[in-house]
Amino acid sequence: MVDSAVERAAPSADDPALAAAIRRQEERVQRDPASLAFAQLADLYRKAGRTVQAIAVCREGLTRFPHYTTARLILAKALQAEGDSESALAELRAILEVSPRDVQSHRLAAEIHRRAGRLDEAVTHLESVVTLDPNDRESRSLLGLLRASGPGEASGLRRVLAGETFVTLAFGSLCLEQGLVDEAASVFTRLLRRDPDNSEARERLEQTLRARLRRRG
């Protein structure tokens, strides 16, 4: 998934409905501080952009309920939002050790690895996603892009891309500018397989995937 489709248009931090929901959940937690309600409060903080609070609430609650995977996933999302992707991955690994069929954890792990240029790891998690959720067409499509070592159909531009001559940032960017998003994704993916530390290729691949998502509506 591409940033989980930006959390499906996440609510604004100043959304009155979100603010009211936070107040209600804060009151609920105050009434029963030993309950599992902390996880929902943390998730509301995260959606409001209050990620530091979300992390603190999750970590405190997990000291009491260390096996509560929902809270651990919320913590992973908040850590990712704070830019601490490696800590987020550590939380996801902890979830998957005990719940290897947790689809949401596989999706988020795939996204984090993809953003870091670790395409093989991203593919592994996406393969788990499409196995566990065959109806997830977005993940299946993304898997096809990231898994391919080169373009599939040997015709036209795709035949040109079968070689290495045009596997460059400049040519990939040209494809993207012309709206050839699948071809651009193929170029940037192959560049990242050569060099996972190529930050510009990582950035262009993310840009391409966002453009592809917008085009598909």
Domain boundary among 91, 114, 147: 147
Domain boundary among 123, 147, 171: 147
pLDDT, tens digit, for every residue of 91-105?
999 999 999 999 999
pLDDT, tens digit, for every residue of 45-91?
999 999 999 999 999 999 999 999 999 999 999 999 999 999 999 99
CA 162 to chain centre: 29
Q: Which two tokens stand for residue 178?
A: 């012309």
Predicted structure pTM score: 0.83
Residues 11 and 99 placed together within one structural domain of the fold: yes
d(CA 168, CA 108): 28
Q: Which residue has better confidence, 155 or 156?
A: 156
Q: Compute the average pLDDT of residues 179-191.
A: 91
State the residue range of the domain holding 182.
156-216
Number of domains in the chain: 2
